Amino acid sequence: MGVEVRRVDSKRDLRAFIDLPFRLYRDEPNWVPPLRFERRQFLDRGRNPFFEHGRAEYFLAQRDGRVVGRITAQVDDNYQRFWDNRWGHFGFFECEDDPEAAAALLATAEGWLRGQRCDRMVGPCDFTTNDECGVLLEGHERTPLILSPWTHRYYPALLDGAGLQKAMDLLMWELRITGKDRVNPVIWRLAEQVEARHGVVVRPFRKRDLDAEVGRFMEVYNAAWERNWGFVPLTEREVRHYAKTLRPFLDENWAYVAEKDGETVGAALTLPDYNQVLKHMGGRILPFGWAKALKHRKDIDRVRVFALGVKPEWQHTGIAAKFYERHFAAAERTPQKQGEMGWILETNKDMNRAMEAMGGTVVRRFRLFEKAW
């Protein structure tokens, strides 16, 4: 039978859209199932603040009445305004090892984006580069960290076969946050001089004052990353939404703000890897997921550096080194002794050199694809 691609237009379709990865990855021990209710909320146009400045359509591919793939096509007006381009994106790509189905899904996404007057399709990203994005090229032997995807080994071939090309690779570096002797000593010298020479103080996030802290983080994020390929500024509503989502995972040991005379000049948000809990829950809180969560919280022994940034005018003062020093101190008093920094653009030479100086190793590589017309 041929492949039919159709729009998601009912609750039943949406359930099939969300459930597909659970079947595709059921034999993959390294895949971590997301919480189904969280995915429903994320895809809800009335709940996700992306839809205040963007629009999207969801599609399912079927063969002989059986769902074999899924995809979204989306346009972010903020992204197009920021970069002054007509790019569109695709995301949530999941598919059986079926080149015909993959090609049909991507052609459908392209057709919808053409109808939105786009001239390029980039992805996968769910829905922007501020969300999970990329197809995993290297690192399949490792379980994914929180807020990062794990995708089938055959996905790059499906995308290549459908006529897409490489747009950008994203790297994740592993850091052992013990054993300072493995780190280039210049890092510690830079950290020492941050307050004495520049008057910058680094302090922990205050979880009790999270709304204000998130505002400070947003200020740094939108200034520090604006030159990065694929960047799109976060709106205040998006930042508040992320704060609400991430609040249960936030640990004051692992989040910091850098200030100079009351001005926020840098921020670092690192999260304990709750994927080490989610992998035991089967995508559900009830009936026993909550008990499993409580049981396995003690198993969390690694972190993910979700975002670490310094405002451009302060980027050569050693603030990032001070953040790294704080991470080593946190590892001495918590069960987490290792982590991954991700993701970093392959073209970001300064950050990649810094990771190398810290004794890091690239352990995952994701790829974004594109097609222009």
Q: How confident is the model at residue 7 (pLDDT cuts 50, 70, 90)?
A: very high
Contacts of 349 (CB under 8 A, 6+ apart): none
Q: What pLDDT, on a 0 to 100 scale, did the predictor assign at position 110?
A: 98
342 vs 34, 64, 240, 307, CA distance in Å? 19, 40, 22, 8
pLDDT band at 77 (very low <50, low <70, confident <90, very high): very high
Please report which helix (H) or strand (E) contains residue 190, including its range: helix 185-198
Closest C-alpha to 268, from 281, 259, 258:
258
Q: Which of 57-66, 220-229, 260-269 is least confident?
A: 220-229
Residues 6+ apart with CB under 8 A from 296: 276, 277, 280
Q: Identify the three-state secondary structure at position 298.
A: helix
DSSP SS3 for 241? helix
**What residues are paired with 366 via a beta bridge?**
136, 170
| Residue 140 contacts residue 80 (beta carbons within 8 Å) | no
pLDDT of residue 284: 76
Q: What pLDDT does 214 receive?
A: 82
Judged by average pLDDT, the poorest of 154-163, 218-227, 281-290, 296-305 is 281-290
User: In the structure encoding, which two tokens stand for residue 10, read together?
Assistant: 């009912």
68: three-class secondary structure by DSSP? strand
Question: Which pLDDT band holds residue 294 (cuts at 50, 70, 90)?
Answer: low
> Does the predicted model carry a pTM greater than 0.75?
yes
Contact 195, 213 (CB under 8 A): no
> What is d(CA 333, CA 300) in angstroms, rounded to the nearest whole number?
14
Average pLDDT over residues 237-256: 84
Domains parsed from the chain with CATH numbers: 3-169 (3.40.630.30), 174-365 (3.40.630.30)
Angle at 316 between CA 325 and CA 271, to 5 degrees: 40
User: What digits encode the pLDDT tens for the residues 114-152?
Assistant: 999 999 999 999 999 989 999 999 999 999 999 899 999
| 304-340 residue pLDDT tens | 988 888 998 998 899 988 998 999 899 988 999 888 9
Of residues 180 and 356, which shows the higher confidence score? 356
pLDDT tens digits, one per residue of 35-45: 999 999 999 99
Q: Which of 334, 35, 49, 345 is nearest to 178 (CA)?
A: 334
